[in-house]
Chains A and B, each alone.
Chain A
Amino acid sequence: MAKRKKKIIIVGGGLAGLSAAMKICESNAEVIIVAYQSLKRSHSVCAQGGINAAIDSKGEGDSPENHFYDTIKGGDFLAEQPLVRDMCYKAPSIIHLMDRMGVAFNRTSEGHLAFRRFGGTLYSRTAFSGATTGQQLVYSLDEQIRKYEHDGMVQKMVWHEYLGAVLDSKGICRGAIIHDLRTNEVFTLAGDAVILATGGPSQVYAGSTASTVNTGAAATMAYMQGAKYANGEFIQIHPTAIPGRDKLRLMSESARGEGGRIWVPKRADDNRDPLNIPEMERYYFLEEKYPLFGNLVPRDVASREIYDVVYNQNLGIGGQPMVYLDLTHKSKEFLQDRLGGILDIYKKFTGDDPKVTPMKIFPAVHYSMGGLWTDYETDSEGMIEPKSPRNQMTSIQGLYAAGEADCHYHGANRLGANSLLSCIYTGLMMGPGVLSYADNISQSADSVPSSVFSDAKTYWRGRFKSISKMRGRENPYKLHRELGEMMMANVLIVRDNKTLDKAYNSISDFETRMKDINCVDSNDWANPTPSFINQLYCMIQLCKIITKGALMRDEFRGAHYKPEFDLKQPKDFDPHEYIHYQEQLNFGEVSADAFPKSHLDYMKRFEANNKKWLKTSIAQFKNNQPNITYADVNTSLVIPRPRKYD
């Protein structure tokens, strides 16, 4: 008898979802892709600068092990090490695969892949396709999926929204509740497994580089259905974005990778045209403070320094919260070829040509390192077991997560050009495991009592019906803006407990106001407002996870900066001292004169802090609040040590 075809529901049409779809199609399973919009439009297209892989084409001595170390250090040791190691070792083959699929990666004179520099590393490790690498990668995967669609193996369900998982009496995911965004119909889909490749939650902040669809609602719904949400407080603030009203557009890190320099005038009242300010009167603060990494320090470091220059030193351009990002010392031809796409965007939105005049930029919310907690399995060698059904599974059986929606790959701070990699890696890596899960479930989705599906449908139809009838005083779009502004004001780059506590309490005011919402659109066709109200409800829950996580974590790690808990690394400290210190500890006693006293004291503080806080925070939904506990991080491969970039 022919085996029944496995049916996998993939939510999201970005890099993670498409990679998973491709891998699963190859095993002849049935794939349904559910997406808000046509597949070429996902947020992955916004990624600009490139994708990392230690191919070492320039003979700099780079290796996957170096990539692994840089990623772990960049993430301030909070990332799950076996997963990150596997990702970095797979990266070269991922780039070659994407190249075979036709991605127009920039090339060397001999026709090989070209690489450029990015933040947080000293190697040229970033493959790129002009300045729209994310777009190019999405298109190539979309094309492969189109081939499978042509062959009848993929069903695309675009203009549909995922509302939640269908859980049976044992809490096992048996399918998904889907909302047709045109007819507004709510229905269920049965599947052997459901993958959430639904991206990040940056829309909870009013000033972000996110697409309008990045509400994080799908992941939050999983959390409200019992899935663990991890490290929510780690939100990446990208140092360089273009100011705007509807969104803050990203100015890629590749602008600095290709030689861009960040500076402000040394005098606060210097209102001259930047080109007329002599070199001597410019303050290249990143280059001065970090001679080794310069403008390519990791994003958390760069954003904090810009913030400090603007708000503590009052040196923002013309008193405004902005600094210069300067490429005018490079030739126009070079800039057009390497960065054309993003420089054109800057010009379109500001009217200024970055090839002629320095850009004005400021940090913006960009990425969530945290997300749904996912499992994995290692083999006897400590490598990822390729077919384990546990890989990328959330704490709800049968519900998987990948891409920005997951949590393990970037720790407390993501390195530039690692997000595209983690999206494609997780999508590809999880495929075989998802299928082996589908092969081995004791009871297939078909034999689950039909009431499991009809109950879910009834609940959600009822919920949408009641949302549509809400005629209160609060406009949902306005309320969303206010919520986002509250998060910007209180839970951003520099955090303190008093403000966070106030912010957390204010979230319940938003919840109260939610009850008085007005569903401002009365049309029963293609009406986005009820959906948005439901997403806003999710965003409020997400704000609680982020804010409470930030409030409880009393330390300074990566993107989570609480000055009160800064361990104050001595200026002349060398991280190698910490390794020696650890070795001496392992041998028994630390000799009294082995280290300067201030260094020893610092290392003791560092050690004690790690003991308490080098943990993954896990939020679980209890009584409408996140209940936060802490789980150990697997740091078996690289000893956590103080970060230093100068």
Chain B
Amino acid sequence: MSQETIKLKIKRQDNPRSKSYWQEFEIPYQPLSNVISCLQDIQKSPVAANDLGVDPVIWDCSCLEEVCGSCTMLINGRVRQACTALVDQIEKPIVLEPMSKFPVIRDLMVDRNRMFRALKKVKAWVDIDGSQDLGEGPIMSDHIRATRYTLSECMTCGCCLEACPQYTKDNSFLGAAAFSQVRLFNLHPTGAMNADERLEEVMGKGGIADCGNAQACVEACPKNIPLTDSIADISRQTSLKLLKDLLLK
């Protein structure tokens, strides 16, 4: 009896300097499979479809429940998390590629350090006086909290940047994720005290003005973060600041 199988076509690369190549795999079908479990099956039996033993495929993952942001990759050409890509719901053969906007480390694993540098640049934090007991935090309406929560679900996964036509490997565009974090912290009563500093960071080269308004980011976000609202809001905030700076000169 022939057993049902899952076919995968995976773009591989041995190290950051080497050339990429394609490899095909065929593994037994099992119910409840997702792309992660397929890659785990390959680890358990690293044999390519031509029966040749190969190195297991390397990818990033951790939580496997779409909250850590690790396992982003291109699945059938679309950027998404591998953990929520259920085999029963996607087209076969499954084509896996690393994200194209970040340097490849190995196979499907990429280096997203640029995203974390951007968070540092836009000062994505609330400047507190210290961790000593200073009593309650600021009173905040649940409405503002709800908006902030949605923005704060960003897991730095990179989907929005992979989808963005403006974001390239060699430019300095900060991208939707960072802009949205500026909004998140400018919405906080204490965070707002440093709002201008954050806005200054997104007003220069690679900043908010470079956004081409393609709106691809919001489509790609696995957490449904209203990224285009954030971009519009930060554009408004920077315009106001420009005006204010001019008037007060």
Expressed in whole angstroms, the Cα–Cα distance for A340 and B173 within the complex equals 32
B136-170 interface (Cβ within 8 A of A)? 136-142, 145-146, 148-149, 152-153, 155-156
Q: Kindly list chain A residues whose C-beta atoms are within 8 Å of the C-beta of B65.
A: 46, 247, 249-250, 345, 349
| A586 at interface, CB cutoff 8 A | no
| B212 at interface, CB cutoff 8 A | no
Q: Kindly list chain A residues whose C-beta atoms are within 8 Å of the C-beta of B62.
A: 37, 41-43, 211-213
Is A23's CB under 8 angstroms from B32's CB? no
Cβ distance B64 to chain A, nearest Cβ, rounded Å: 5
Q: Kindly list chain A residues whose C-beta atoms are within 8 Å of the C-beta of B37.
A: 245-246
Cβ distance A188 to chain B, nearest Cβ, rounded Å: 24
Q: Kindly list chain A residues whose C-beta atoms are within 8 Å of the C-beta of B83.
A: 246
Cβ distance B143 to chain A, nearest Cβ, rounded Å: 9
Is A477's CB under 8 angstroms from B43's CB? yes
Q: A101-B128, A107-B145, A149-B120 are in contact. Are A246 and B112 (CB under 8 A)?
A: no
Expressed in whole angstroms, the Cα–Cα distance for A97 and B137 within the complex equals 7
| A136 at interface, CB cutoff 8 A | yes
Q: Give chain B's interface secondary structure class.
A: loop
Residue from the set A143, A348, A521, A528 with the largest chain B CB neighbour count within 10 Å: A143
B40-88 interface (Cβ within 8 A of A)? 40, 43-46, 55-56, 58, 60-70, 83-84, 86
Is A520's CB under 8 angstroms from B134's CB? no
Is A245's CB under 8 angstroms from B33's CB? yes
Closest to B89 in A: A351
Is A106's CB under 8 angstroms from B66's CB? no
Chain B interface residue count, CB cutoff 8 Å, equals 70
Closest to A111 in B: B139
Q: Kindly list chain A residues whose C-beta atoms are within 8 Å of the C-beta of B44.
A: 475, 477-478, 481
Cβ distance B164 to chain A, nearest Cβ, rounded Å: 20
Residue from the set A104, A135, A475 with the largest chain B CB neighbour count within 10 Å: A104
Q: Kindly list chain B residues whose C-beta atoms are within 8 Å of the C-beta of A213.
A: 62
Expressed in whole angstroms, the Cα–Cα distance for A299 and B63 within the complex equals 22
| B124 at interface, CB cutoff 8 A | yes
Closest to B127 in A: A147
Cβ distance A478 to chain B, nearest Cβ, rounded Å: 5
A59-100 interface (Cβ within 8 A of B)? 93, 96-97, 99-100
Closest to A135 in B: B67
Q: Kindly list chain A residues whose C-beta atoms are within 8 Å of the C-beta of B86.
A: 348-349
Q: Kindly list chain A residues whose C-beta atoms are within 8 Å of the C-beta of B60.
A: 37
Q: A111-B139, A139-B152, A520-B46 are in contact. Are A100 and B32 (CB under 8 A)?
A: no
Q: Kindly list chain B residues whose C-beta atoms are within 8 Å of the C-beta of A104.
A: 145, 148-149, 152
Closest to A243 in B: B32
Q: A22-B131, A246-B83 are in contact. Are A112 and B139 (CB under 8 A)?
A: yes
Q: Kindly list chain A residues whose C-beta atoms are within 8 Å of the C-beta of B40.
A: 246, 477
| A447 at interface, CB cutoff 8 A | no
Which listed residue (A130, A150, A243, A522) contacts B149, Cβ 8 A?
A: A130
Is B63's CB under 8 angstroms from A147's CB? no
Closest to A143 in B: B125
Cβ distance B161 to chain A, nearest Cβ, rounded Å: 15
Expressed in whole angstroms, the Cα–Cα distance for A129 and B184 within the complex equals 15
Is A146's CB under 8 angstroms from B124's CB? yes
Closest to B104 in A: A526
Expressed in whole angstroms, the Cα–Cα distance for A435 and B171 within the complex equals 43
| B191 at interface, CB cutoff 8 A | yes
| B188 at interface, CB cutoff 8 A | yes
Q: A101-B128, A135-B155, A341-B153 are in contact. Are A348 and B137 (CB under 8 A)?
A: no
| B213 at interface, CB cutoff 8 A | no
Closest to B39 in A: A246
Q: A182-B105, A477-B40 are in contact. Are A96 and B135 (CB under 8 A)?
A: yes
Expressed in whole angstroms, the Cα–Cα distance for A38 and B117 within the complex equals 12
Is A146's CB under 8 angstroms from B125's CB? yes
Q: Kindly list chain A residues whose C-beta atoms are within 8 Å of the C-beta of B141.
A: 107, 111
Cβ distance B248 to chain A, nearest Cβ, rounded Å: 27
Contact with A along B95-115 (1 / 0, CB 8 A): 000000000011001001100
Expressed in whole angstroms, the Cα–Cα distance for A404 and B226 within the complex equals 35
Cβ distance A44 to chain B, nearest Cβ, rounded Å: 10
Expressed in whole angstroms, the Cα–Cα distance for A104 and B133 within the complex equals 19
| B239 at interface, CB cutoff 8 A | no
Is B106's CB under 8 angstroms from A108's CB? no
Is A526's CB under 8 angstroms from B109's CB? yes
| B94 at interface, CB cutoff 8 A | no
Which listed residue (B33, B123, B148, B156) contacts A150, Cβ 8 A?
A: B123
Cβ distance B84 to chain A, nearest Cβ, rounded Å: 5
Q: Kindly list chain B residues whose C-beta atoms are within 8 Å of the C-beta of A522.
A: 55
| A220 at interface, CB cutoff 8 A | no
Q: Kindly list chain B residues whose C-beta atoms are within 8 Å of the C-beta of A529.
A: 56
Cβ distance A529 to chain B, nearest Cβ, rounded Å: 7
Is A144's CB under 8 angstroms from B128's CB? yes
Is B137's CB under 8 angstroms from A26's CB? no
Is B32's CB under 8 angstroms from A102's CB? no
Q: A147-B127, A150-B123, A182-B105 are in contact. Are A345 and B145 (CB under 8 A)?
A: no
Which listed residue (A41, A106, A247, A526) contacts B58, Cβ 8 A?
A: A526
Is A129's CB under 8 angstroms from B142's CB? no
Is A41's CB under 8 angstroms from B130's CB? no
Contact with A along B15-49 (1 / 0, CB 8 A): 10000000000000011111011001001111000
Closest to A341 in B: B153
Q: Kindly list chain A residues whose C-beta atoms are within 8 Å of the C-beta of B135.
A: 96
Expressed in whole angstroms, the Cα–Cα distance for A604 and B34 within the complex equals 54
Query: Can you show 23 pairs from A to B with CB atoms below 8 A apart?
Result: A26-B130, A26-B131, A37-B62, A38-B113, A38-B116, A40-B69, A41-B62, A46-B68, A97-B128, A101-B126, A101-B128, A111-B141, A136-B149, A139-B152, A140-B126, A213-B62, A245-B33, A249-B64, A249-B65, A341-B67, A475-B45, A481-B44, A523-B55
User: Which A-B residue pairs are the 7 nearest by beta carbons?
Assistant: A99-B137, A143-B125, A104-B149, A111-B139, A102-B126, A526-B106, A246-B37
